[in-house]
Each structure stands twice: as C-alpha cells, then as structure tokens.
C-alpha cells in the first residue's frame, strides 16, 4: 500500500450505533516494529473503515526513538480517525521488555505528543498517574484508565475504583477487561455496562475468556465507547487474539447494530444492557461465511413482534469447529441456533439427537438447546422447501420431476422436502464422490443425474432447485454447472433458488424473463425460520412481519 506522508487522508465515513449519546466504535489495534510499519498498518485500518486505531507502542523495537515519528505522522495523515496509544508492560499483557522506570519515561514522552487517547493502567502509583495525566491533558490528549480483572469476584472492587477515577476527573473514560465464561458472566457484563451508563461514566467494557467473541458481537447493546479488533483475512482472530475487524463489522451490520455505507437501515435487536438478568433470548447462526445473512433481520423481527427481548448473533464458525461453537453457545444460555453452509452435515454429527428431517437428510440447519443440556438437530430446510414449492407450483408434487443442483447440506434438505412434496428427485453436482455419497446416504430418495449429459433430461424437469452457493454474495456463478446454463440444458418449467439476492439471482431473473414461475431463497428462509422459531420458543411467529422486515433489508 502506498503511504501518504505530509498530507491529510480523509477516510470513508462509517455508521455507528446510537445508544443515547454513546456511539459504539470499532478500534483496530495496530502494530509495527518501527514508525513506518506502524503508520502503514494504521492507514490500512483507516482504509478498511475503522473508526479508531490503537497504536501498540510496546510492540515496537525502539518506542523511545520511534514514537514521535509514528504519532506525528498519523496525526498529519488521518483526518477523521481517532488515535489511541498504549505501552503495556509484560505483567499487564503487553510486550515492553524494559524496566518500569524506562517504560514510565517513554509514557511521559507519549503523553507530550497530544495523541487522542493515552491508555494508562489504573493501578499506577497515584503521583505517577497524576503527573502523566496532567502532561497528557496539557498536550491535548484524553486519558483512558484501564483495569484488567482476572476474577468475577473482583468486579465490584474495580467498579468502585473506576467510577471514582472518572468522577474525580482523573480519567476521561475507564476501560475494564472482564472475564466472561458463561451466561451468568454474560449477564453481569451487560449489567455492569448498564450501571456505568446510568451513572454517566464513559467506559470501554471488554469481555475476555471463553465468551469474549460473543460478548464483543453483543457490545453495541451496551454503552461501551468502542471495541478492539484486528485486521486480517482468515480465522476468527489475529495474532493478538482479538476478533477480526471484518467479522465484527459484518456481524454488527447484519444485526442492525452498524449502518452499511449506502445500504438500507436494519432495525437493531430488541435487547438492551438493562435487560441483563431478566428473560432475554440468545439465538445465533453458525456458518462460514455469515456476512451475507439476513437471518438476524427475520428472527429479530419475530422477537420484537412477540414482545421478546433478545438478539440473533451471526457467529462465524470454520469447518471442524461446530462442536466447540455449540458448546460455547450452550454455556452462553442460547435457546437455539441455525447452521448454514458449509456446516450442515458436520452439525448433524455434533448434536446429541436428530429429528426426522435431519435424520433422513443427514444435515442439520436448526439446533435446539434443551433444558436438560442436550442438543437436538432439526432440518427446517425440509419444511422451507416443501412449503415454497407448494406456493410456487401447487400442493401435490406427484408425477412431477425435480432436479436438485448441488450436493451439500442444503441439497440434502431440499431432497427430503421435495420427497415430502411427492416429486421424483434427481440430483447433480460437480464432485462425483459427493454426489455418490448423497445418493447413498439418502437411501433411495433421489437418483443421480450425470452432470456431463444433463441434456438427456431436456423437457423432463418440472422444477430446478438450485442448492449451491453460486449467486451468494461473493460467490459469482461460474463453470459448466452454472445455474442459468443448467436451466437452459434441461428446459425446466420452474425454478427455486436456495440463494437470494435483491431483484433475484441470475437464474431466478432468467427464468422470469422466460415467463417461468421462479422464486429465490427468501421464501425458503421465511418458512424455515418460522418453523425453527416454533422449535425454539413454542410460539407461532408473525410471518407477514418477518417478510416485511426481510424485504426491507434486501430492498424488495
């Protein structure tokens, strides 16, 4: 990336979440061995849309020598991105290798730079803290006093000290890193923020421990000023152990807790920090990716209409991690979760028991966390497909032929749903081993269709059901089995695409242009979501309200 020195860099405006007068911001933690590397990292964070950057000076080779160049360079370059800076000792989770005397001397130099926020430990000697605070404010900085709490039983003591520091003017904001290991801790974390907010204490409240990632996704329902993240391309977190910026930003956007530049507004979840300790419902979605999902819109609309407090959390989960993610959600007190690509088959092996549709398909898209601690897997894609096809074509699928494109978990649920409808089912896909496995596992519910000779079925297909990820955000259609091409090869008389997009996917639009009945995955999503909501709550959600919320979210 080209560095821009000696000029002002204006970064793209990003949406925030209003909570009274507080806006929850995303702060990217930036590192570099020297000033140039640190500046490069910070500029990349700003370009990605970060609201703030924290400069980790303790990770520089020579912070005493480089800090002035780094801070002054970024103050010149970044016009509307707030800067924070810290210099942590190893005992406080940092990496500064020198003596405490050396560290305090460098902090004194850092205080004189006028960096936006100077992060200081709340347990520093009072006289030292007073001197650093006075110097920082004289230079135009604000002071963030931090406490890392190791045990939940220490929360009250740290709460008293942090409130006092803010109220007597020693801190412009306080930061508390709190262990969150289970639902009780999650409730305490939310309630702690609510109590600070009621007293007018500006704070940055960060969960650590087992449920840290989940707590940071939920952070905007609190009054925390900002949340720390890292840049990165893969995994859940970067080398510092923080959630990735893109993952957290996408989750907040999908939950309606951060606006999308130029995008449509989404209602925030019906949950506030003051609800902690009461009855509130936690639901989630496991998948990779989950940045495209509109499930939070649908389920949060259902909760709001039913007068429920709660949130539906996109919880990105990589293949191989489903069992661990379910365990985390279990201790977090989740009522249930959905599972999307590519994890539906893995989820079937991770739950304690399977419902009929899940057992027949070998795939799970809905998990219920039972009161006895066990998990039950259902496949509501089965219901979603059967109901959507009935709306599209008619109640009875007898004597009709459906061709399923795809061999993953979505295809498995679709086959069982089409069988329930009464159709004769063919399945095709790019991978012959996956196709053979699906046909074998479904034990006679479908027959294979050779992907190299689909023209043999010309005119025989009443319904094409598209179950691959092609057409999903970030997955452009391609290859021999591109859905539009398959539609042409078999001359199907109707189309159901399990993927949805504003205005319809390519194959849905192509079918409609040809005068064929066609519908996208939004109908499947609505029907399967309603069935899943009943599994979780025992209540019948208002499908019309869920549909209005979904159409508003996708611009239809």
Q: Give me the active site residues, please.
A: 344
Cα-based angle 537, 539, 543 (whole degrees, multiple of 5): 115
Tokens of 232: 């990165």
Tokens of 391: 């709306």
Residue 203 phi/psi, 5° resolution? -145, 155
List b or e across 59-71, with b for residues whose CB sees 16 or more CB atoms inside 10 angstroms: bbeebbebbeebb
Query: 139: number of CA atoms within 13 Å, CB side?
Result: 22
Distances (CA, A) of 288 to 266, 319, 340, 376, 408: 22, 8, 8, 21, 14
- 235 backbone φψ class: left, alpha, beta (φ>0; ψ -120 to 50): left
Tokens of 310: 């709660």
The answer to whether the beta carbons of residues 57 and 22 sit under 8 Å apart is: no
**C-alpha gyration radius of the chain:** 26
Q: Which residues touch 147 (CB under 8 Å, ≥6 apart)?
A: 121, 122, 123, 158, 161, 162, 174, 175, 176, 177
Which of 21, 27, 129, 26 is closest to 84 using CA atoms?
27
Tokens of 361: 């398909």
The answer to whether the beta carbons of residues 410 and 417 sit under 8 Å apart is: no
Helices assigned H by DSSP within 362-505: 380-392, 409-421, 432-441, 483-490
CA dihedral 226, 232, 233, 239 (to 10 degrees): -120
CA–CA separation, 165 vs 173, rounded Å?
A: 9
CA–CA separation, 413 vs 517, rounded Å?
A: 22
The answer to whether the beta carbons of residues 300 and 312 sit under 8 Å apart is: yes
- The CB density around residue 308, as the number of other CB atoms within 10 Å, is 18
The answer to whether the beta carbons of residues 403 and 505 sit under 8 Å apart is: no
Which of 330, 327, 256 is closest to 296 using CA atoms?
256
């Amino acid at each position: 990336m080209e560095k821009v020195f000696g000029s002002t860099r204006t970064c793209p405006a990003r949406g925030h979440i209003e909570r009274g007068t507080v806006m929850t911001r995303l702060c990217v933690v930036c590192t570099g061995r020297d000033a140039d590397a640190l500046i490069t990292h910070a500029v990349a964070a700003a370009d990605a849309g970060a609201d703030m950057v924290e400069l980790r000076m303790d990770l520089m080779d020579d912070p005493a020598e480089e800090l002035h160049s780094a801070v002054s360079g970024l103050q010149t370059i970044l016009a509307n991105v707030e800067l924070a800076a810290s210099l942590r000792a190893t005992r406080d989770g940092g990496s500064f290798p020198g003596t405490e005397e050396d560290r305090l001397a460098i902090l004194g130099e850092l205080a004189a730079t006028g960096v936006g926020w100077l992060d200081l430990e709340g347990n520093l000697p009072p006289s030292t803290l007073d001197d650093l605070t006075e110097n920082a404010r004289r230079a135009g900085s604000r002071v963030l006093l931090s406490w890392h709490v190791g045990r939940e039983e220490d929360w009250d003591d740290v709460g008293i000290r942090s409130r006092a520091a803010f109220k007597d003017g020693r801190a412009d904001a306080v930061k508390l890193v709190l262990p969150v290991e289970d639902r009780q801790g999650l409730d305490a974390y939310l309630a702690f923020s609510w109590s600070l907010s009621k007293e007018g204490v500006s704070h940055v409240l960060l969960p650590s421990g087992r449920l840290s990632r989940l707590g940071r996704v939920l952070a905007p329902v609190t009054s925390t000023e900002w949340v720390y993240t890292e840049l990165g391309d893969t995994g859940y977190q970067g080398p510092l152990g923080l959630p990735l910026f893109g993952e957290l930003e996408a989750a907040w956007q999908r939950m309606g807790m951060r606006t999308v530049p130029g995008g449509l507004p989404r209602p925030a979840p019906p949950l506030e920090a003051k609800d902690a300790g009461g009855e509130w419902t936690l639901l989630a979605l496991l998948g990779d990716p989950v940045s495209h999902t509109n499930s939070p819109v649908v389920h949060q609309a259902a909760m709001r209409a039913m007068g429920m407090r709660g949130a539906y959390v996109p919880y990105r989960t990589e293949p191989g991690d489903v069992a661990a993610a379910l365990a985390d959600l279990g201790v977090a007190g989740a009522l249930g979760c959905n599972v999307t690509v590519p994890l539906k088959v893995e989820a079937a092996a991770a739950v304690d028991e399977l419902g009929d549709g899940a057992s027949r398909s070998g795939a799970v898209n809905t998990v219920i966390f039972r009161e006895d601690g066990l998990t039950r897997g259902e496949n509501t894609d089965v219901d979603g497909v059967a109901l959507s096809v009935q709306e599209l074509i008619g109640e009875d699928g007898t004597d009709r032929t459906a061709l399923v494109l795809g061999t993953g978990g979505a295809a498995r649920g679709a086959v069982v749903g089409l069988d329930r409808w009464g159709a004769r089912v063919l399945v095709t896909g790019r991978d012959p081993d996956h196709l053979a496995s699906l046909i074998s596992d479904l034990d006679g519910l479908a027959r294979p269709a050779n992907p190299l000779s689909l023209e043999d079925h010309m005119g025989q297909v009443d319904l094409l059901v598209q179950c691959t990820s092609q057409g999903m955000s970030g997955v452009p259609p391609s290859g021999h089995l591109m859905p539009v091409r398959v539609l042409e090869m078999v001359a199907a008389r109707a189309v159901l695409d399990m993927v949805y997009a504003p205005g319809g996917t390519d194959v849905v639009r192509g079918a409609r242009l040809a005068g064929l009945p066609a519908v996208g995955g939004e109908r499947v999503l609505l029907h399967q979501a309603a069935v899943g909501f009943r599994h979780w709550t025992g209540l019948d959600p208002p499908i019309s309200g869920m549909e209005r919320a979904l159409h508003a979210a996708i611009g239809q």
